[in-house]
């Protein structure tokens, strides 16, 4: 028992040490909590920074996508066949005003290497221009059933003085042995009204389309010997500049602008007979 009493102080010290250790382990460390919260706040701030970065990247991607779409639309407009033909049509009109550098019997090859070739060589199946321009645009602007309506600009020679001059293609014949020229059968349809009489008339006629000149020429259908011509620019196939000229002298005495019409037209004129409502069959074209 004496030994047990002597050991009690040591046991008490040992127990106090153990309790102190446990208390030290179990006590909350506020410094660690502060560090943990600081780390959490920094992580949260980093998340906010990343969110802003993603928003900026997303905004830039939207702008880039919009620019790509805009560039794509511009490219599409530049290569659009209608826009290309409009540009070529405008160029052809400018060249007509300024002159091509070739005489009336020759075709201007154009491009960066101007060259004149005979109109007889245009659309003959062989490239005669160094740049091949003489075989580049050989599509006919007319086919059977096409109808062009002409509106007067000025007229000093026709007695009927038509308000509307129609040109209807009734047949197209291509020559295998001579491709630069195509034969046409047409009806010239006149509608007119003046102080003496009014009415309409249908005049069957024969003509040709010259691929080199891009021109329809109609042989005079009446005794007045007035011929009809309609010149395309080679690119716009829905419009041609028309004029009437005296066959013998070539003097132009009337001008019209012809525009292609779609759908049914002038069904009351399709009897293909020379018909004049006012019965003035002796009047002139």
Q: Where in the chain is the domain with CATH 4.10.400.10?
A: 105-138
pLDDT at residue 278, rounded to an integer: 43
pLDDT at 177 over 70: yes
Q: How far apart are CA 109 and CA 134, in angstroms?
A: 6
Q: What is the DSSP letter of 11?
A: H
Give the model's confidence band at 174: pLDDT under 50 very low, under 70 low, under 90 confident, else very high.
very high
Domain 105-138 CATH superfamily: Low-density Lipoprotein Receptor (4.10.400.10)
Inter-axis angle of helices 81-98 and 30-79, nearest 10: 50
Give me the residues paired with residue 189 across strands. Answer: 166, 202
pTM: 0.60
Locate CATH 2.40.128.620 in the chain: 146-261
Are 258 and 242 in contact by the 8 Å Cβ rule? The answer is yes
Six token digits for residue 237: 């196939």
The SS3 call for residue 145 is coil
> What tens digit of pLDDT does each residue of 206-232 get?
999 999 889 999 999 999 999 999 999
pLDDT in tens, 231-246: 998 778 899 999 999 9
Of 2.40.160.60, 3.20.20.70, 2.40.128.620, 3.30.420.40, which CATH number belongs to 146-261?
2.40.128.620
The residue ranking higher by pLDDT, 178 or 75, is 178
**Over the stretch 92-113, which tens digit does the pLDDT of each residue have?**
555 555 556 888 889 888 877 7
pLDDT above 90: residue 143: yes
């Amino acid at each position: 028992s004496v030994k047990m009493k002597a050991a009690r102080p040591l046991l008490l010290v040992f127990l106090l040490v153990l309790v102190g250790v446990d208390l030290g382990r179990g006590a909350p460390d506020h410094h660690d909590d502060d560090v943990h919260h600081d780390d959490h706040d920094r992580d949260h701030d980093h998340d906010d920074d990343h969110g802003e970065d993603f928003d900026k990247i997303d905004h830039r991607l939207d702008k880039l996508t919009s620019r790509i779409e805009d560039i794509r639309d511009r490219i599409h407009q530049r290569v659009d066949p209608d826009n290309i033909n409009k540009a070529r049509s405008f160029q052809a009109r400018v060249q007509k005003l300024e002159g091509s550098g070739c005489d009336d019997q020759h075709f201007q090859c154009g491009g960066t290497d101007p060259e004149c070739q005979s109109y007889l060589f245009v659309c003959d199946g062989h490239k005669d221009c160094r740049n091949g321009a003489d075989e580049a645009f050989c599509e006919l602007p007319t086919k059977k059933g096409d109808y062009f309506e002409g509106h007067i600009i000025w007229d000093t020679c026709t007695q009927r003085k038509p308000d509307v001059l129609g040109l209807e293609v009734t047949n197209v014949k291509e020559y295998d042995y001579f491709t630069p020229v195509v034969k046409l059968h047409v009806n010239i349809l006149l509608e007119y009204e003046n102080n003496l009489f009014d009415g309409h008339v249908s005049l069957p006629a024969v003509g040709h389309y010259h691929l080199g000149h891009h021109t329809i020429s109609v042989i005079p259908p009446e005794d007045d010997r007035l011929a009809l011509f309609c010149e395309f620019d080679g690119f716009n196939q829905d419009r041609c500049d028309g004029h009437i000229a005296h066959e013998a002298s070539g003097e132009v005495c009337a001008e019209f602008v012809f525009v292609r019409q779609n759908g049914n037209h002038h069904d009351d004129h399709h009897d293909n007979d020379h018909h004049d409502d006012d019965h003035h069959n002796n009047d002139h074209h």
